[in-house]
Structure 1
Amino acid sequence: MKPWKLLTLISIPAVLVFANGCAVISEDECQAGLWYERGIEDGARGRSQATVYEIAQKCHEYGVRVDTSDWMRGHEEGVEQYCTPENGFIQGRNGRDYEGVCTGPTADLFMSHYQQGLVVYQAEQQYLALENRYEKVEREYYSVSAQLDEDVSKKEARALRRHLRSLRREMRGLEHQMMRFGGFGAFNPGLFY
């Protein structure tokens, strides 16, 4: 089995799992200063070097000067943690944006695994959309069936039966489409590696 397939079985440092959110910093964090450590954290989250300018701008509002050289040294170390093939797959699999922080030979490996993870993520999103549509059609099917049990005219009953047949066809079509993703009610990510 390929190493990146094992990612679902192993855990990685929590710092690599967090989403790549924006670089918001609090006044307390600005006052604390820990710029090298903050750089490591931001790099390990895959944030670009532009992050330090956002931090500096925010800290300036609090009257604090950022040591950008310390942050940059830490960021470089954090990026090394981020730019692994395994993490590339995780980032793609979770549908996270990539800010282009990897360079050199690691960039190609990271990107190839990121793309593989992204394919799985996108397939899962398609599957979930099909599943949601199926559930909506199924609810409508039961609602229309219940209307047939009520006292309705022959004309209304014919229209309701036609509508039920249409809903059944759509449900079968949705079931067929979901089978491409591993089965009805069971998305199989392994089909997309």
Structure 2
Amino acid sequence: MSAVSLPCDAPATARGVATRLIRLSALGVALALLGGCAAMSEQECRSANWYEQGQRDALAGQPRSRLADLHEACAKAGAVPNDRLYLDGWSRGVHQFCTPDNGARWGRQGRSYANTCPPELDRAFSDRYRAGRRGWEAEQAVKRLQGEQRDKQRALDQAKDDAARRQAREQLRSIDWRLRDARDELDRAEWQLRQPY
């Protein structure tokens, strides 16, 4: 996405329009990313390469049951997915998806796992996914506590009397301890992720 830049002395309305365009572009990107979860359009149903679609869905962590959703969506377009090609592609994609490294990455990104992997691949993927997810959760806790810390520091800076300042300092100390523990948990999770599987 290319940036829109206007001089600082541009009229406020022009800057406002540029800002709205940037926000709309970002929204469009977000919707396109979410579109992977939506059912296919009529045109996509008619022109789909079902092998590639199955492989793409598996690589996106979609379960085999996604095919039933595609049948329903494509029925409205008068198209019928090719089950054999889709499942062949899905099988290939799921073997690429269900690796320990991808499980760790998937969890570390905070993505949810829909129990997509077949039993023979699930344990290795799930173990690393859980380790990655612990790292993501620890990172979220650190960020949340850092936000609380900033808010409390502002409250301390704006406190008008000794009692309010004392209370804000006590709360900051408590947050500091919790933040230290959260950082330790993040370090442990990251260390675990660096260990060979």
Same fold (TM over 0.5): yes
Q: Is 2:144 aligned against 1:125?
A: no
CA distance in 1, matches of 2:180, 2:46: 55
Task: Give TM-score, length-normalised by structure 2.
Answer: 0.73
In the alignment, structure 1 residue 77 sits paired with structure 2 residue 92: yes
Counterparts in 2 of 1:1-193, with a 5 A limit? 22-144=37-159, 148=160, 160-182=161-183, 189-192=186-189, 193=192
AA in 2 matched with 1:83? C
**Aligned-residue RMSD, C-alpha:** 2.1
Closer, same or farther: CA 97–91 of 1 in aligned 2, 3 Å: same
Shifted more, 60-69 versus 33-42: the winner is 60-69
Report the Cα distance in structure 2 between the residues aligned to 1:20 and 1:74, rounded to whole angstroms.
20
Q: Is this contact kept in 2: 1:127–1:181, CA < 8 A? A: yes
Contact 2:138 2:183 in 1 (8 A): no
Q: Give 1:96 shift.
A: 1.2
**1:23 shift after superposition:** 4.1
Deviation at 1:44, TM superposition (A): 1.1
Q: How many residues align?
A: 158
Distance 1:26 1:50, change over 3 A: same
**Separation in structure 2 between the aligned mates of residue 39 and residue 130 of structure 1, nearest angstrom:** 41
* Larger helix share, 1 or 2: 2
| Structure 1 segments unaligned to the other structure (5+ residues) | 1-17, 149-159
1:37–1:19 distance in 2 versus 1, CA, 3 Å: same
**What are the Cα deviations for residues 120-151 of structure 1, in whole angstroms up to 9, with x where unaligned?**
1111111111111111112222222xxx3xxx
TM-score (normalised: structure 1): 0.74
Contact 1:37/1:74 (<8 A) preserved: yes
* 8 Å Cα contact 1:23/1:54 also seen in 2: no
Q: CA shift at 1:19, angstroms?
A: 8.1
How big is the shift at 1:22? 2.5
SS at match of 1:49: coil
Q: Percent identity?
A: 26
Cα distance in 2 for partners of 1:123, 1:104 equals 28
Counterparts of 2:35 and 2:46 in 1: how far apart (Å)? 23
How many Å apart are 1:64 and its aligned residue? 1.5
Determine if contact 2:105/2:132 at 8 Å carries over to the other structure.
Answer: yes
Range with bigger deviation, 172-181 or 73-82: 172-181
C-alpha distance in 2, partners of 1:92/1:21?
A: 19
Q: Say whether the 8 Å CA contact 1:43–1:79 is kept in structure 2.
A: yes
CA positional deviation for 1:20: 11
Deviations 1:86-121 (A, max 9, x none): 001011111211111212332111111011101111
